[in-house]
Amino acid sequence: MAGHSAVHGDRFSLVEGARSSLKKGSKYQYYPVSPPQNDRYNPSRLSSYDLNHLPIRTEDAYWDIIGKLSNSSSKAKYNSIVRETGISRMPLASASPAFVHPSFFPLDPFHLFFENIMPFIWDIWTTLSAPDEEVHLSKHLAEKLGQLVADGMKTLPPVFCGPVRDPYLKRQSQYKAYEWMALLYWYILPIGIELEMESSVLRNFSKLIEIVEFVMTIKSRSEAEIQGLKERVNHFLIEYEQLYVGNDPEKIWRCRLCIFQLVHVPMHIRWYGSIRLGSQATVERTIGEAGHKIHSKKSPFVNMANIFYEKELIKALLLYYPQLGNEQTERNRPVLFGKINIKAKERKQGQPLYHQLQTIFQSVDLPGAFEPTFINNRWGKCHLSNGIVLSSTLSEATGDKIKRSRCHFEAKIDGVDQPIFGKALAFFAIEKTNQHVVVYHPLEKMEKTLNIWRGIWSQKIDVLDTTQIVDLIGIWAYNNNVYPLRKHPGSDWISPEEKGIEIDGDGEDIQWAD
């Protein structure tokens, strides 16, 4: 392909690029849907593209162009074909029997979403826009937002990712992909809502979050769902252009190809399934792991081939004999550990524990009169069935030296659509009913704002069976408002090292301290 600065830089469609300047030599490297003053700035380009009927490249047309390039009579003719088509030469990859154009090279979500789109939008907000623009984030707001992100680490579980740095101060200091992920999934919207960022900007950004979360979630999708995704992408792109370009043709540069590439995501899902299958992060990690294992200077390629062969052999063996693997079998129910002794004085009426035990007694509907001695043990931690440890505020306050909280959870009750979010106070084992329960403060007055949950902590306590706990969550709180932070769908797709998580010798994640 001729590259992103060519007239036809999009490798999946024949949409023409656009210029954002009338200066001599300006490149056709931007992809607006309906650019303003198009007849003046881009007279050869269509005034508007229908996002539902884009001119998608085809295999037959590709080989026809390759034939024309091969038979071109002069360099000028060759360059003319490249300019008109965006195809510059036949790649070595075409020798593969699997080569099909244009679907042979899929989109890479790792870079597209988190290292191209997110930094670009952040830069527009903070440095690439004027103070009087609707999309501009003032210095004061950007500083405050960055500070709140860094402060929010205390209630983000360490198993989610490493510490996310202040983007205002550290954006140019090799800000990592997982940090952009954290801003996209967790922090921009709630902090923007609380700091009263421009509502139109937040609404548009929430649509981007919805798109990315949908495509990064591993789940089978129906044709109707993919069509719904396509409509959301189209709405986002049109609204983005209205908001970030408006009627100023000199701002067309904000319609970079990385933003326009979102229009091809539904098509990629039809081609391959989950867009995560095209992740370059997996390839880069495999290359890195293999590179570290190559020790032969005499025959490095033979050494590398043996490494890959052994890796694939082990995979095949595990498929035939899964019992050879070291993976833990899924538990039937969460397991409590971290025993905390109950003192006699804590059972007295008026004490917090007495109230907790009384609430448990009423919740599990035990026969007879309540006695504060009906439970002998309480526990500080709970090993969930997915392998993650949920702590209680009790364990965090008794010398476990946890610097980042792990006591917040999401639960689901059968037949109830709305999730339950809570702060675990302690775990108890009830011998009479063979139950494990959690006593917690629930999040109440729940409402959805821009597709994210928000509530306030209740002072009352509730009881849940631990089997109803879905997962550990983080929270971000400002004043009295609390926003639950669910583990993002790309979490399992990258390694602990790529998430900035350090693991100690016992397999536990190392806690981060101030």
For the chain (514 residues), the mean pLDDT of every run of 10, in chain order, is 86 93 89 95 94 95 94 92 91 90 90 95 97 96 97 93 95 92 96 96 97 92 96 98 96 96 95 86 77 86 89 87 64 82 88 89 80 86 89 77 84 91 94 89 95 95 94 95 91 74 53 44
Rounded Cα distance between 260 and 8, Å, is 13
Rounded Cα distance between 117 and 177, Å, is 11
Domain segments of the chain: what residues?
Answer: 109-272, 283-324, 335-492
- Select from 74, 101, 100 the least CA-distant residue to 87: 101
Task: Return the beta strands (E) in 279-367 as ranges.
Answer: 335-340
| Tokens, residue 120 | 């670009």
pLDDT at 400: 53
Burial label, 31 (beta-carbon count in 10 A; 0-12, 13-18, 19+): buried
Helix (H, G, I), strand (E, B) or coil at 400: coil
Q: Which ranges of 352-401 does DSSP label H, i.e. alpha helix? A: 352-363, 393-396
Threshold 0.85, pTM exceeds:
yes
b/e code 147-182 from CB counts within 10 Å (16+ = b) = ebbbebbebbbbbbbbbbbbbbebbeeebbbbbbbb
132 DSSP 8-state letter: T
Given the structure tokens 């719904």, which residue do they identify? 228
pLDDT at 245: 97
pLDDT at 218: 85
Into which CATH architecture does domain 335-492 fall? Roll (2.30)
User: Which residues neighbour 232 within 8 Å (Cβ) at sequence distance 6 or greater?
Assistant: 207, 210, 211, 214
pLDDT at 406: 93
Q: Are 163 and 509 in contact (CB under 8 A)?
A: no
Quick one: CA torsion of 17, 21, 26, 29, rounded to 10 degrees? -20
What is the amino acid identity at position 431?
Answer: E
pLDDT at 110: 87
Rounded Cα distance between 105 and 4, Å, is 15
User: Which residues neighbour 211 within 8 Å (Cβ) at sequence distance 6 or greater?
Assistant: 229, 232, 233, 236, 262, 265
> Which phi-psi region, left, alpha or beta, contains residue 127 (left: φ > 0; alpha: ψ -120 to 50)?
alpha
Q: Are 343 and 334 in contact (CB under 8 A)?
A: no
pLDDT at 68: 94
pLDDT at 512: 46
